[in-house]
Structure 1
Amino acid sequence: MTGTCPRILSIAGSDSGGGAGIQADIKTITMLGGHAMTAITAITAQNTLGVQSVHRVPTSMILAQIDSVVSDIGVDAVKIGMIGSAEAARAVAECLARLSIPIVFDPVMVATSGSTLADRDTIAAFGQLMDVASVVTPNLPELEALGGKDRILGHGCHLVVKGGHGEGPMVVDELYAPSGLVARIEGKRLDSSETHGTGCTFASALAVGLGSGLKLRTAFEQAISFTRIAIIEAPGLGQGNGPLGHQYVTDFQDLDE
């Protein structure tokens, strides 16, 4: 890391409603003291009710954005979200394989509203992104779609299994290394529909921690804390699943004390 400001590159789609994607990434990275840079993979017409339209950015332009910031500003960690197409997934994986920095891959398939953001071919190409990723952060449905823990860990990466889609009064988030379980955090399930962008927020927070030089377990704990507080501080915008309150997160207190 150069100086005291971690340089974090988000490779993801734009959310016009500001709740998820590039917008959530920039907010998270900024609030955690990083410098946010972007390679936009898709432009979406999107709000708290769903995704109305998607315009995918050509692969050559995605790569040009990555090359532009890497060659000048430099990058300490990468966060990958919505990737847009199978072609883009393969090209981005090949590009990032040349970088020796932490890479956090959030395998986005479906928006909080239920809208599909990755087709079958794109999901099939996720394997190449997992090959270059330091850590992969699926929710429970994404974990199942990718073949389960063992298949993901078989790519040599670490794995965070996010428990927000589970049932019961507690949410369980788990961190795995290829050799097995590293950490398990339980937190009270928050009674809130203001959860649009939670996956993006967590993955970006994790990338900032790793780009700052934190150990993976510490970065994992910090990312969970930041995301939970942002849910609690959600401003209540829109008629559906509202955005988080990134701008109101001021500390990382233990929410279950």
Structure 2
Amino acid sequence: MKTALTIAGSDSSGGAGIQADIKTMTVHGVYAMSAITALTAQNTMGVQKVMEVTPEFLSQQLESVFTDIYPDAIKIGMVSSSALIEVIAEKLTFYDAKNIVVDPVMVATSGSKLINDKAIEYLKNKLFAKATLLTPNIPEAEILSGRTIKTSEDMIAAARIMSEEYGTAVLCKGGHALNEANDLFYYNHQYKWFIGERIENSNTHGTGCTLSSAITSYLAQGKDLENAIWLAKNYLSGALRAMLNLGKGSGPLKHTWNLEGGYEE
């Protein structure tokens, strides 16, 4: 059985973070493991409190995983401090980790800031060069590229800057601010649009986590990067199209939309 590791924060409401990652990896048929970077008290209306783990405890979690069930692919989500980023970079190097998808989580869907400025610099300098793929949304891409993104041409320019500066493939997600579901893949001085279905659903809590975890799952299974992105986008569309409606704010996706029951007598 193929295996995947998520390094991210916990979401007490179950829609994003570690919980969304594990659900997504599980329905894709890979064995999911986790190293938790922070506990969050959050729900569909926002993030109420964040409590980081210590660098020592994160290091021990990663040691425990890598020395027993080695992951075929790794997704990195919310990491809010430079000390934790340093630990992750050190362990990825030491254990020669492969198929690394970095979702540079900086702002929650609700608008809550999840990372400090020093940690952003550590992300750039310590983690991005190790990544197989970066998956920023529009606000994150603006921060990382130093460009304002208002048009498709802006997305291409920002993706080029990120890809060339950090030496990795970039999937710039267009749905967050350009009112479209088209994502831009940029790598090796070439770009490709992944055209998606625009689904009118205000419940989008955890979409970024879910997409990056689905890509990670397909990479763990040996799919090439472009195919992994395409399959993951199709899965995300199905999870949005299922129109789950929970909570008072921006609700979670239906991660199990493609599973059927069958355990009843």
TM-score (normalizing by structure 1)? 0.92
Provide Cα deviations, 1:105-131, integer angstroms capped at 9, x if missing partner.
000001111111111111111111101
The one of 40, 46, 49 equivalent to 1:50 is 46
Q: Residue 28 of structure 1 is aligned with which of 18, 24, 29?
A: 24
Q: What is the RMSD computed on CA atoms of the aligned residues?
A: 1.4
Please report the TM-score for the alignment, with normalisation by the length of structure 2.
0.89
Q: Please state if 1:102 is matched with 2:99.
A: yes
Q: Which amino acid aligns with 1:211?
A: A
Partner of residue 138, structure 1: 136
Measure, in 2, the Cα distance between the counterparts of 1:24 and 1:68: 22
Structure 2 residue 174 is the aligned partner of structure 1 residue 177? no
Q: What is the CA–CA distance in structure 2 between the aligned matches of 1:234 and 1:65, rounded to whole Å?
A: 35
Residue 182 of structure 2 aligns to a residue in which SS?
Answer: strand
Residues 7-29 of structure 1 deviation map (CA, whole Å, 9 limit, x = unaligned): 10000000000000000000000
- Superposed, which structure 2 residues align to 1:13-24 within 5 Å? 13-24=9-20
Shift of 1:156: 1.4
Three-state SS of the structure 2 residue aligned to 1:247 is coil
Asked if 2 retains the 8 angstrom alpha-carbon contact of 1:130 and 1:152, the reply is no
**Maintained 8 Å contact 1:13/1:42:** yes
In the alignment of these two chains, the number of paired residues is 245
Once the two structures are overlaid, the 10-residue window that deviates more, 185-194 or 129-138, is 185-194
Map of 1:254 onto structure 2: none
SS at 2:186 equivalent = strand
The residue that corresponds to 1:225 in the other structure is: 234
Question: CA shift at 1:171, angstroms?
Answer: 1.9
Aligned to 2:127: 129
2:116 to 106, 115, 119: 119
Tell me the equivalent position of 2:153. Answer: none
SS in 2 for 1:187: coil
Aligned with 1:86 (options 67, 82, 102) = 82
The answer for the alignment partner of 1:155 in structure 2 is 166
| TM-fit CA distance, 1:250 | 4.4
Which whole-Å CA distance do the structure 1 matches of 2:52 and 2:98 have between them? 27
- Give the % identical residues: 43
Q: How far 1:100 sits from its partner (Å)?
A: 3.9
Corresponding residue SS for 2:67: helix
Is the partner of 2:181 in helix, strand or coil?
A: strand
Paired residue type of 2:199? L
Q: Indicate the residue corresponding to 2:155 in structure 1.
A: none
Aligned to 1:241: 250
Once the two structures are superposed, what CA deviation does each residue of 1:195-252 show, in whole Å capped at 9, x if it has no partner?
000000000000011111001110010111111111111420000000000011249x
Distance 1:178 1:42 in 2: 34
How far apart, CA to CA, are the structure 1 residues paired with 2:242 and 2:254? 5
Deviation string 1:31-80 (CA, Å, 9 cap, x unpaired) is: 00010100000000000000000000111111111110110111100000
Amino acid at match of 1:171: A
Query: Is there any run of 5+ residues in structure 2 with no aligned partner, and where?
Result: 146-157, 261-265
1:11 and 1:119 map into 2 onto residues whose CA distance is 18
SS in 2 for 1:246: coil
